[in-house]
Amino acid sequence: MKKNKEYKVAEPINWKKEAKLLPGYIILMLWVIFTIVLLVWILAASLSTSRDIYSGNVFSFSTGLHFENYATAWSTQNVSVFFLNSILYAGVALVGIQLISAPAAYVLSRFEFKGNKLFKNCFVLAMSIPSIMIVLPLFSLATQWHLTGTRTLLIILYICLNIPFTTTFLLNFFGSLSRTYEEAAAIDGCSPIRTFWVIMLPLAQPGLVTVGIFNFLAVWNEYFLAMIFASSDRLKNVGMGLFTMVQAMTSTGNMGGLFAAVIIVFLPTFIIYLFLSEKIIAGITAGGVKG
């Protein structure tokens, strides 16, 4: 039997409703235009020369488009090393953070026990301590224990310093899941641990994906810890590497190369957002509705 074709009829524009939203649209448009102008300026500067940039003629391209700025930035600045290090740090740290925070959030949100509230408060308190306060004592300890100059130390720090936020973030997602899943699993003879890994964890997927993206991007672009603990060239991540490139190119006056390096470093996070924007937005809003 032939299926009837579905025709989509465009809804007529409700001008009254749209007019009420106009102020919001104007503010959004201004912000979008501002952002686009900045990005276009940086892109133009990456194809320009120092002279044109400093004289305010970024869009004149008086000596043509200088694509060699990208080749220079890539080949002379070890950019591939920075990317590979960032992938390693972000990937491993992401897995480590999720493996520790997800069970912790599940237990804290679903079970009543002595010290439950204390643990939750401790995680919140830990979030309020800026890393700059603890980094020099950490560095001193790491030096004494001869741990500096290793990727392992940096990954451990990324995991530990992001657990408080991740755990706190996931509390709501696990807290909003219905208890009937656990009851049904218990009736079927499923142990609590197996219930968590097989049933509850997949149900919290929106939250895990969202916080995973946040953690990935935070570790990917992280600068301060990398400056202290990974300042050797072979260990630098994208954040520290970009700073090094900026420093080197500023001192050599190669502003075109500097902006080319900025574009190269900015591109991966931009691509990640292109792929995952819907999931990020869904994840941010998903935990807000109970039941």
Partner 1 sequence: MKKILAIVLVLAMALSLAACGGNTGSSAPAGDSSTAGGSTAAESITYWSTWTSEEPQAKVIAEAAAAFEENTGIHVNIEWKGRDIATILAAALDGGEDIDVFDDDFQRMSSPTQFAPYCYDLEEMAAAVGYDDFAVAALPTAVRRWSGSLTCIPYQPYTSGVFFTMSSFEKAGLVDENGNAIVPTTWDEFLTTCQALKGAGYTALAQDDAYTMYTYGFLLARLIGQEAVSTLVKEGGWAANEAAKQAAQAIVDLKENGYLSSTSPDAYPAGENEIGFGTASMVINASWVPSEITSNTDCNETWGFFNFPDMGGTDPATVANIGAQAMAVNKNSANPQAAFDFIMFITSGEWDQTMALETSSIPADTRNTEWPEMIAGVRDGFNAQTDVYDWNMGLNDNADIKESLTAYLAQLFEGTMTAQEFVDSMDALY
Q: Which stretch binds partner 1 (CB under 8 A): 27-35, 75-83, 104-112, 207-215?
A: 75-83
Among 35, 60, 75, 191, binds partner 1 (CB under 8 A): 75
Task: Using the minimum distance from each CB to partner 1, give the nearer residue, 164 or 256.
Answer: 256
Work out whether 34 is an interface residue with partner 1 (CB under 8 A): no
Task: Using the minimum distance from each CB to partner 1, give the nearer residue, 40 or 141.
Answer: 141
Q: What are phi and psi of 63, to 5 degrees?
A: -115, 20
Among 175, 176, 233, 280, binds partner 1 (CB under 8 A): 233
For the bound state, the minimum distance from the C-beta of residue 260 to partner 1, rounded and expressed in Å, comes to 13
Work out whether 80 is an interface residue with partner 1 (CB under 8 A): yes
For the bound state, the minimum distance from the C-beta of residue 133 to partner 1, rounded and expressed in Å, comes to 14
Task: Using the minimum distance from each CB to partner 1, give the nearer residue, 102 or 264.
Answer: 264
For the bound state, the minimum distance from the C-beta of residue 251 to partner 1, rounded and expressed in Å, comes to 5
For the bound state, the minimum distance from the C-beta of residue 228 to partner 1, rounded and expressed in Å, comes to 6
Work out whether 245 is an interface residue with partner 1 (CB under 8 A): yes
For the bound state, the minimum distance from the C-beta of residue 22 to partner 1, rounded and expressed in Å, comes to 26
Task: Using the minimum distance from each CB to partner 1, give the nearer residue, 119 or 139.
Answer: 139
Work out whether 144 is an interface residue with partner 1 (CB under 8 A): yes
The 3-class secondary structure across the chain, one letter per residue, is CCCCCCCCCCCCCCHHHHHHCHHHHHHHHHHHHHHHHHHHHHHHHHCCCHHHHHCCCCCCCCCCCCCHHHHHHHHHCCHHHHHHHHHHHHHHHHHHHHHHHHHHHHHHHHCCCCCHHHHHHHHHHHHHCCHHHHHHHHHHHHHHCCCCCCHHHHHHHHHHHHHHHHHHHHHHHHHCCCCHHHHHHHHCCCCHHHHHHHHHHHHCHHHHHHHHHHHHHHHHHCCHHHHHHCCCHHHCCHHHHHHHHHHHHHHHCCHHHHHHHHHHHHHHHHHHHHHHHHHHHHHHHHCCCCC
- How far is Cα 261 from Cα 232, in angstroms, rounded to an integer? 19
Among 35, 60, 121, 247, binds partner 1 (CB under 8 A): 247
* Residues of this chain that bind partner 1 (CB under 8 A): 49-51, 54-55, 74-81, 83-84, 136, 139-144, 148-149, 227-228, 231-234, 243-245, 247-249, 251-255, 267-268, 270-271, 274-275
